[in-house]
Structure 1
Amino acid sequence: MTQADVAAALDISTENYNRLEKGKTELTLTKMRKLAEIFNREPAELIADHGNVRTVRVRQHVQAGDWAESHLWEEEDCYDVQVPDDPDLRPFTLHGAESRGPSMNLRYPDGSALIYTDILETGETPVPGKRYIIEVERPDGLREATVKKLFKDDTGKLWLLPESNDPRHQVPIDPFEGDGNIVRVVGKVVFSVQREE
């Protein structure tokens, strides 16, 4: 089959299918199932055919407004997800966190597994347009963790933008003015795994 044939079967443009093949567009479970049907394969085979997979342990959750000393779970509550083994990510540890609540629901539905690299381990500078796990620590030591998209406005100022349809979670964060809170960029989201409804 040509790319155009597969794109037509997926009901997307050839350009979008090309982006999907190159990993520039998220491969949702729905698209993966449709591709598996088109190629008469199992969905897991599609990942395996393009290299190995990595297993990542989801050990915590991220949820705006959930202030606690730690968001790490008990071991019996943790679970594993598999993601493609991206050669660029092999040198780094991958971490998993589950999204909860409506604070990022325009991008990550409740229950999505977010796979991220540790910004201290990679040593990379945050890039506008990418999504990051953000931790905010209050003066009393309690913390919340969530996901925000880094945005640079026309003046060059950086903002952490929520992606939510809930008015309580639509206020951008100025990472340099924490109102007494400490704002940390913890890691860059590199994969998300979403459950089908």
Structure 2
Amino acid sequence: MFFAHTHNFAIFAIIGQAIFAIFAIAKFAAIAKMRTMDPKRKQIRDWLQAELDRKGHGAKGKLATYLGIRADGITRMLNIDPNKETREVKAEELVKMGEFFGTVPPVIKSDLKPMTTPIGEVKVIGRVAANTWMDVSEMDFDYDDVETVPSVGGYPPSWQYGLIIEGNCLNKIAQHGEKLVCLNIIAAQLEPKPGDLVVVERKKYGGQMVERTAKRLRQSAHGYELWPESNDPAHQDPIVLYEPDADVQVNIIGKVLWIVREP
């Protein structure tokens, strides 16, 4: 009888050691997996987390709505714990994230020089005007109202568009009625840098009201700011990108390449 109990105890001890070994191997494999995370996926995850932090409270839900997915899908994209469910970011989702945040995702940034292309024509699709909120349906011109301006060499005309200046929002460098030739930064995989004159859109009420203007991108000790190129006292307040407004979404959508002067 004693031998039987001893024999059973030995069997249980062996089983216990085997289970412990299995858990230890699984834990080691999980740690190894975390340490060997695909560099591109980690880069995307870190960029996504930083952009959500910059946008502030509610950004995750708004991004999910913009992508047309559930909010927990964003959570799974951010997960690095292999014991929790993860989710890869699809290529088309990455492009839309860039549009949502107004920045170029890190893995699609291009170090290539702008390509040499012939001069063509681009459509003047809308307007820029500071401190002017419009219904989204009024921002862009109807087909009958569209005129064209010459494109700028170095980028395909399909990546460019024109905007007409309304008011004195840029009167230090351009006047009312003159036109801006702009580059779609998402199509060009271009991240604006300090000193660039950029096209910025602010949206509120779920995107129904829009303000579109052009401002100079600057970097302060606290982060990026958008400063007016106007001497009008009404247009002197900068847009600070490091202090997100829960009610207003701010996106940099383009870079100004050229100003078409009136004769």
Q: TM-score, structure 2 length as denominator?
A: 0.51
Structure 2 gap ranges (5+): 1-116
Whether 1:67 and 2:136 are equivalent positions in the alignment is no
Whether 1:185 and 2:252 are equivalent positions in the alignment is yes
1:55-87 C-alpha deviation (Å, 9 max, x unpaired):
111121111122121411112221111244x1x
Whether 1:151 and 2:218 are equivalent positions in the alignment is yes
Using the TM superposition, give the Cα deviation of residue 152 of structure 1 relative to its aligned residue in structure 2, in angstroms: 1.3
Instruction: Name the stretch that deviates more: 62-71 or 141-150.
Output: 62-71
Residue 127 of structure 1 aligns to a residue whose secondary structure is coil
Change (3 A) 1:113 1:144: same
Identity of aligned residues (%): 29
Q: TM-score, structure 1 length as denominator?
A: 0.67
Determine which structure has greater relative contact order: mean sequence separation of CA pairs < 8 Å that are 6+ residues apart, divided by chain length: 1
Q: Which residue of 130, 133, 148 maps to 2:199?
A: 133
Between the aligned partners of 1:110 and 1:176, the Cα distance in structure 2 is 30
Structure 2: which amino acid aligns with 1:74? D
Higher helix share: 2
Using the TM superposition, give the Cα deviation of residue 175 of structure 1 relative to its aligned residue in structure 2, in angstroms: 1.9
Instruction: Name the stretch that deviates more: 172-181 or 159-168.
Output: 172-181
Structure 1: which amino acid aligns with 2:141? W
Structure 1: which amino acid aligns with 2:257? V
Whether 1:110 and 2:110 are equivalent positions in the alignment is no
Larger-Rg structure: 2
Using the TM superposition, give the Cα deviation of residue 127 of structure 1 relative to its aligned residue in structure 2, in angstroms: 0.5
1:78 aligns to what?
146
Residue 144 of structure 2 aligns to a residue whose secondary structure is helix
Change (3 A) 1:65 1:156: closer
Using the TM superposition, give the Cα deviation of residue 132 of structure 1 relative to its aligned residue in structure 2, in angstroms: 0.6
Contact between 1:96 and 1:113, CA under 8 Å: does it hold in 2?
Answer: yes
Q: Which residue of 173, 176, 183 maps to 2:239?
A: 173
Higher strand share: 1
Change (3 A) 1:181 1:165: same
Structure 1 gap ranges (5+): 1-50
Contact between 1:92 and 1:117, CA under 8 Å: does it hold in 2?
Answer: no
Whether 1:101 and 2:167 are equivalent positions in the alignment is yes
- Aligned pair count reads 143
Structure 1 vs Structure 2 CA RMSD: 1.9
Structure 2: which amino acid aligns with 1:146? T
Residue 53 of structure 1 aligns to a residue whose secondary structure is coil
Using the TM superposition, give the Cα deviation of residue 156 of structure 1 relative to its aligned residue in structure 2, in angstroms: 5.7
Structure 1: which amino acid aligns with 2:211? E
